[in-house]
Amino acid sequence: MDQKLKSLYRLEQEVLAQVKKLTIVLGVLILSSCASFPSMTDSCTVGLMKVMGECVEKPTVVHLPTHQELLNLPEPDKQPIVAVYRFNDLTGQRKQKGDVAMFSTAVSQGSDTMLIDALKTAGSGKWFRVVERVGIDHLTRERQIVRTTRQQYGEEDDTGLAPLLFAGIILEGGVIGFDTNIETGGAGARYLGIGTSRAYRRDIVTVHLRAVSTLTGEILLNVQTSKTILSVASGYDVFKFVDMETQLVEIEDGITENESVTRSLRSCIEAAVLELIYQGHDRGFWKIKSGHRHPHQDDGTNELHPIEENKDENVK
């Protein structure tokens, strides 16, 4: 009788061990398929991956909060003609991989394109008339080709080539700062072989934008904006012995989310353009018809940021 009980007990333990192993295998498969790894297949359209999976995404048009604010800006009383020659990365920062600096730059080198996009976005394209200066060599060369071709064939120049517009304001500046690890931190806990942790890092990008008068060379407006860039990492792990401490279970999972440096830079540039518009309104270079964030009184002042240096420039 005792022998039968021992056999049944041994059989029961073997069955439990097999169930535990099967459970562990299934758990690892589920975690590896849907927890932190993007799927390069269409498996995200069915089953558990449809709910929990991270899949390849379709291209989207990015509309940041600053973009929407620029887009909804009221029309001006007149459209200034502005030019952007260059708006470069002045930081010299390189991407870091551990303690080693890589050849790739830390911020995008297309900041001049982002500035032009922000200028054309303002007021749904009704705020600024932007003339091409970044690719001025290409533009003048193409115009010369058109004229030369007409002359070679003895035809009159009826191409309708108008004189190039000249800008009353030149926008200068660039990305002047990219500081990493200005704030770091994290927290974690572990109990009986089961632990979780969370860490973050905060960087900051700074942009300078100024408006220069073409006629006098005077700097009319000057703006600096900055934006933080957040990175967050979280994860958990299990390191535990089961089945009378004869079987080891080890599970690790985690995910890191990094705020896009390019989108942050774009948002910072859009905020600089928006502030430049408001500053120009406050100093009397142009006038926003309605909806200014700081409504002015009849005497041209307001409580939020009064201008006392030159009251003649206040917009009444």
Q: What is the pLDDT of residue 313?
A: 36
d(CA 60, CA 62): 6
Q: What is the largest CA-CA distance in the chain?
A: 118
CB-based burial of residue 16 (10 Å sphere; 0-12 exposed, 13-18 middle, 19+ buried)?
exposed
Q: What is the pLDDT of residue 10?
A: 67
Higher pLDDT, 308 or 26: 26
Quick one: 124 and 259 in the same domain? Answer: yes
Averaged pLDDT for residues 116-143: 89
For the chain, the average pLDDT equals 77
- pLDDT tens track for 130-184: 999 888 888 889 888 888 887 777 666 666 678 888 899 999 999 998 888 888 8
Quick one: 114 and 218 in the same domain? Answer: yes
CA of 82: how far to CAs of 23, 85, 141, 144, 271, in Å?
66, 10, 22, 24, 17
281 in a domain, yes or no? yes
- The distance of Cα 242 from the centroid of its chain, to the nearest Å, equals 46
Domain that holds residue 88: 65-135+166-293
119 in a domain, yes or no? yes
pTM > 0.75: no
d(CA 250, CA 240): 7
- pLDDT tens track for 50-106: 655 566 667 777 677 788 888 888 888 888 999 999 888 888 777 766 665 667 777
Quick one: 30 and 101 in the same domain? Answer: no
d(CA 115, CA 86): 10
Averaged pLDDT for residues 230-256: 82
Residue 35 has pLDDT above 60, yes or no: no
Q: What is the pLDDT of residue 15?
A: 55
Q: What is the pLDDT of residue 24?
A: 60
Domains identified in the chain, total number: 2
